[in-house]
Structures are given as structure tokens and as C-alpha cells.
Amino acid sequence: MTSSTAIFWPVLAQVLLTYVVYVVMSSRRIGAVKAGNARPSDFKVPSIEPEPSATAARNLTNQFELPVLFFAACLSLFVTGGAGMAAVIVAWAFVLARAAHAWIHLTTNRIRPRRMLFIVGLAINLVQWLLLAFHIA
């Protein structure tokens, strides 16, 4: 494995996180139906979905927001030959921040730490883009 392809390990970890959230959401929805707290038709309109599965669904949506910029940055760094050790470390930091954000969102759902972790991930992603800008400059 060359240092440039190492950038794909955090990418794969972020993809795995997305799949884990899909499983959590599905499990919560099935659990809600089995417990009689929801009907399958309730999932057509998210506003009437039970809170535990709605929270998981919202977190799943989050996995397709900021992480899109992460994927684009990683691919851009790889394509331009800028996926060195610093880029890989920053990519792992992003994934760790996103995993912590997802954990809080799916468990306690406390807004303050969740928001703080979102901002940390956002700042880390900015660093990724700055690394790319410096690399191609």
C-alpha cells in the first residue's frame, strides 16, 4: 500500500459508519413496528415517525451532507498526489469526529456536544481543503 492509497482507509471507515447508521435506523423502525409504536405506513412521512427511528433517519441524512465534502477532498488529494501522511491523519480525524457525532446523535442526542462535534468535523474538513489548496498551489 502506497502512502497515497492510505487515504482510502478513512474513506472506507466513513462508508462503514454510514452503513452502521442504516442498520441502526432499520432496526429502530422494525422495533417500533413490532412494539406497536408505529405502522409501516408511518415511515412514509418522517414527521410522524417515532423519535428513536426519526433520530437515526436524521443522522443518516447527516452522513450524506458534510461527508460528501470529505469524500471529494480525499479523492481530490489522491488524484493530485497530495494524499500524504498529513492528509491521511486529517482524514482519520474527520472520521473520528463524525463517528463521535453519530454516537451522540444516536444515543443521548444532546445538542451542545453534537453541535460541537459537527463544528470540529467542519473545521477538519476545511483543513483537508486547505491541504489540497497548498498542494496544488
pLDDT per residue as tens digits for the range 81-110: 999 999 999 999 999 999 999 999 999 999
> Residue 115 sits in a domain of what CATH number?
1.20.120.550
Q: What pLDDT, on a 0 to 100 scale, did the predictor assign at position 1?
A: 52
pTM across the whole model: 0.93
How many domains does the chain divide into? 1
Provide the residue-wise pLDDT of the chain in tens; the chain has 137 residues.
556 899 999 999 999 999 999 999 999 999 999 999 998 888 887 677 889 999 999 999 999 999 999 999 999 999 999 999 999 999 999 999 999 999 999 999 999 999 999 999 999 999 999 999 999 99
Q: What pLDDT, on a 0 to 100 scale, did the predictor assign at position 46?
A: 67
- Alpha-helical regions (H) of the chain: 8-34, 51-62, 66-79, 85-106, 111-136
Look up the domain containing 126 and give its range: 5-136
Q: What pLDDT, on a 0 to 100 scale, did the predictor assign at position 122?
A: 98
- Residue 102's alpha-carbon distances to 4, 50, 84, 85, in angstroms, are 27, 18, 27, 26
Quote the CA–CA distance of 72 and 104 in Å, as a whole number: 25
Q: What pLDDT, on a 0 to 100 scale, did the predictor assign at position 45?
A: 72
Q: Which residues contact 18 (CB under 8 A, 6 or more apart)?
A: 60, 63, 64, 67
